[in-house]
Structure 1
Amino acid sequence: MTPAVLRLFFWAALVAVLVLSLLPVPPGLMVFTWQDKLEHAFAFLALGVLGHLAWCGRLWAVSAGLLAYGALIEIAQSMTTHRMGDGWDWLADALGIGLASLVCRWRRPV
């Protein structure tokens, strides 16, 4: 897959994560405690892998950008009446980004 296609998927995934992060959570959707943290980690793992593949060699820039994006989502959530920003969510985002960095470094050694 070309970097241009990967970048398109990356931007689409960024929009999807933002929309899903700001929509109200339907009642009964949470099955277990800390489920939302796992969802954050997996979402940012996917974003991280897509970003690292789309912009090869820019591991730190992609990671820093996604950390800032995660923080902005938490700020945006705190401004809604149906969601709340949570530092633990941002930490889960960071864990997902870190895992993505490890996966990409393992896949393509420096």
Structure 2
Amino acid sequence: MNPQFYGKIVVTVGVIAITYLALTPHATIPSIDQANDKLKHILAFAFLACTTTLSWNWSWKKVFFLLLFYGAAIELAQSGIAGRHASGYDIVADVVGIFVGLLLSTIFRKWRLNSQKKPQ
């Protein structure tokens, strides 16, 4: 099997884990401060953007809007969960993470392409 297949499994597991953590009531998750919360959003969405881009041959626009929709859907769902609330700042952190992940995947693809061109 090719690496993209394994990447798709990693993305799927990541989406399941992030969705579970995002939709679990706060009482069951240790308290975190706001700065840590935004950092976790950035890291989660950077991970999803990078692995999604590398696992599927989708345009950056498709990945961006798919993950933006996913982040907004999570925020909307959180508004109906006890101890959770929707936050526009969380969506901003998601967007920052998406851009970081897209940048990392672009850098990795260029590095991989250059390393394949060099004679060994």
In the superposition, the TM-score normalised over structure 2's length comes to 0.81
Counterpart of 2:31 in structure 1: which amino acid? Answer: L
Note the C-alpha offset of 1:103. 1.0
Tell me the percent identity: 30
Counterpart of 1:71 in structure 2: which amino acid? Answer: A
Given that residues 50 and 105 in structure 2 are in contact (C-alpha distance below 8 angstroms), is that contact kept between their aligned partners in structure 1?
A: yes
Coordinate RMSD, CA, aligned: 1.9
Q: Give the 5 Å matches for 1:26-105.
A: 26=27, 29-30=31-32, 32-105=33-106
In the superposition, the TM-score normalised over structure 1's length comes to 0.88
Greater share of helix: 2
Note the C-alpha offset of 1:57. 4.5
Q: 1:44-87: CA deviations, max 9, x gaps?
A: 01111110110134222112101100000000001112210101
Q: Unpaired segments of 5 or more residues in structure 2?
A: 114-120
Aligned length: 109
Given that residues 8 and 52 in structure 2 are in contact (C-alpha distance below 8 angstroms), is that contact kept between their aligned partners in structure 1?
A: yes
Counterpart of 1:15 in structure 2: which amino acid? Answer: I
Moved over 4 A (4+): none
Name the SS for the 2:26 alignment partner.
Answer: coil
Q: Mark the structure with the bigger radius of gyration.
A: 2
- CA distance, structure 2, for counterparts of residue 64 and residue 72 of structure 1: 12
